[in-house]
Amino acid sequence: MKIAVAGTGYVGLSLAVLLSQHNEVHALDIVPEKVEKINSYQSPIQDDEIERFLAEAKAGERKLDLHATVDVAEAYTGADYAVIATPTNYDSDRNFFDTSSVEAAIAAVRSVNPDAWIVIKSTIPVGYTAGLRDRLGDSKIFFSPEFLRESRALYDNLHPSRIVVGAPKDDAEAVIAAEKFAGLLAQGADPAELERVNADGTKGIPELVLGTTEAEAVKLFANTYLALRVAYFNELDTYCEVRGLNPRDVIDGVCLEPRIGSHYNNPSFGYGGYCLPKDTKQLLADYK
């Protein structure tokens, strides 16, 4: 199967490497230097697993059918799936993600390939995919959120907590295509993940096929909760510092409650990174 991936940032490149284990993958980028690096088995981003996979492929120790290109026709011609992983920065003037790169990528796909299934991996507003399908009159578009950490993107793809895809429930063809794509992601994961036993007793990687809008909401609400959790422990830490308490003792005591857990609880100065600030702003804007 041929898969094209638009964008070679953390999301795009980690997906390209993951999927190239079992598929022919063409990674498209507008920066020639990044393309040249990838084709020379060098990662243009800092990610230990990506660097390891590329080094092993160069040494002949791992098979990756991966080719990077700046040529739109080369990437998209004959592709079964075209994955859009371009950046969507938050536009504070419009209170909306800037989705222009996503729409430009979709237009580029359709200019050479009217039949490919387009998978939006970029973070987008709730309701965007349904509106885009209607506006373009294009039913071969669905959404699949990512849940990755910078610098650990491939690791998180190899060990996913869950795989989520969103397609209209009344479009059987789109649901089948989305399920198939979820299967491709699971196929690329670490084989041990297929044998794991989940908290609810089920086995393997949970694959959720939701509506497009529900899948978009999952992404924004998940990141908003993570931001909330960071802010919560920051406030706990500040309280302890002001009152002369040992913050680590309090955090440990709080987090031994199983419903809270001992993860994601290191206080810092606010929350940052690329995703959490913009995703929380977009969700807030959706409430207005």
In the chain, which ranges are continuous DSSP H helix? 10-19, 32-39, 48-58, 72-76, 100-112, 128-136, 153-158, 172-188, 212-243, 247-255, 275-287
SS3 44: coil
For residue 259, give every residue at least 6 positions away whose Cβ sits within 8 Å of its Cβ, in sequence order, or none.
none
Spatial contact of 134 and 94, defined as CB atoms under 8 Å apart? no
Residue 131: closest CA among 210, 209, 208, 212:
212
43 phi, psi to nearest 5 deg: -85, 130
* Cα separation, 39 vs 25, whole angstroms: 12
- The amino acid sitting at 102 is V
Catalytic residue among 64, 79, 275, 276: 275
Spatial contact of 10 and 148, defined as CB atoms under 8 Å apart? yes
Q: What's the distance, Cα to Cα, between the start and end of the chain in Å? A: 43
Examine the residue annotation and report whether 275 is marked as an active-site residue of this protein: yes
Please count the CA atoms within 13 angstroms of the CA of 94 that sit on its side-chain side: 9
* Cα separation, 48 vs 51, whole angstroms: 5
R_g over Cα of the chain: 20
C-alpha dihedral sign at 125, 129, 135, 141: positive
C-alpha dihedral sign at 121, 98, 283, 139: negative
**Residues involved in catalysis:** 275
